[in-house]
Each structure stands twice: as structure tokens, then as C-alpha cells.
């Protein structure tokens, strides 16, 4: 379980890193809180942060439940793909939002795989 906890915490740290970049971008853009629109480059990194939050809400519970039912190595590899996928998503979205699909898929598909593994693990335990 320690490997899986480590990956979960790295995913949280990655989200904090995107949040930090969003805060920096707000400072640079001169956009005053509570506004969240009006500056294209702020909006891009902000959307990366929001999308990562949405992913995290699915990724973390799926990671830990899948980790209870499947070998840690398989679950950890899916978690690592998610982490790399999110970095690719961030770089692509900031450069050009139209190129965000690859990074999105590389974090969405491992999350979906973890959800399916968690559901199969739970169903197997019930039957």
C-alpha cells in the first residue's frame, strides 16, 4: 500500500503545483480576485488546475480501492501513467488548448482503468 500512497500524494503535489502556477499567473496578469476570466494565459493554466481537480476526485478513490484488490505493481504503473499524462496535458494546454487531447487521454484512460479494476475487485468480493 505504501507505493500507492506515494503515488496518491505525488498526484496531490502535482495538483498543488498547478494551483501555484495559477496563483503566479494571476499575479502576472494583473487580474484581481474574485475574477477568473479576462486574461487568456491565466485562463489556460486555471483550466489545467480545474481539470486536474476533476480528475483527482476520480483518480484518488479509484487508486486506493483498486490498490486493495489488485497487485500494487499494476496499480502503481497506471498511477505513473496518470502523473505523466497530466504533465503532458499541462504543457500542451498552456502552449495551445487545441493540442490537449493526448495528455487528457493519458490521464483519463488510466483513471478509467482503475475505476473498472476497483469495481471488479469489489464485485468479486461480494460474490
The closest alpha carbon to 16, from 78, 90, 85, 74, belongs to: 90
Task: Indicate which single residue of 27, 30, 71, 126 sits in contact with a copy of itself (rule: CB under 8 A).
Answer: 126
Task: Supply 124's cell numbers.
Answer: 468479486
Task: Supply 120's cell numbers.
Answer: 471488479
8 Å CB contact between 15 and 53: yes
Quote the CA–CA distance of 112 and 14 in Å, as a whole number. Answer: 19
Check residue 102 for interaction with a copy of itself (CB under 8 A). no
Which x/- pattern, by CB under 8 A, does the window 36-75 give for a copy of itself? Answer: xx--x--xx-xx-x---xx-xxx-xxx--x--x-------
**Residue 100: how many CB atoms within 10 A of its CB?**
21
- By CB under 8 A, name the binding residues for a copy of itself: 2-3, 5-6, 8-10, 12-13, 15-16, 19, 32-37, 40, 43-44, 46-47, 49, 53-54, 56-58, 60-62, 65, 68, 93, 97-98, 100, 112, 115, 118-119, 121-123, 125-126
Amino acid at each position: 500500500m505504501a507505493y500507492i500512497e506515494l503515488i496518491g500524494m505525488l498526484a496531490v503535489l502535482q495538483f498543488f503545483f498547478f494551483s501555484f502556477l495559477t496563483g503566479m499567473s494571476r499575479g502576472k496578469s494583473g487580474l484581481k480576485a474574485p475574477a477568473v476570466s479576462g486574461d487568456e494565459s491565466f485562463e489556460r493554466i486555471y483550466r489545467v488546475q480545474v481539470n486536474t481537480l476533476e480528475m483527482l476526485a476520480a483518480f484518488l478513490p479509484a487508486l486506493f480501492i483498486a490498490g486493495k484488490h489488485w497487485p500494487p505493481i499494476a496499480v502503481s504503473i497506471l498511477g505513473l501513467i496518470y502523473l505523466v499524462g497530466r504533465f503532458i496535458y499541462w504543457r500542451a494546454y498552456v502552449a495551445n488548448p487545441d493540442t490537449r487531447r493526448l495528455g487528457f487521454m493519458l490521464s483519463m484512460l488510466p483513471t478509467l482503468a482503475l475505476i473498472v479494476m476497483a469495481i471488479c475487485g469489489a464485485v468479486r468480493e461480494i460474490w
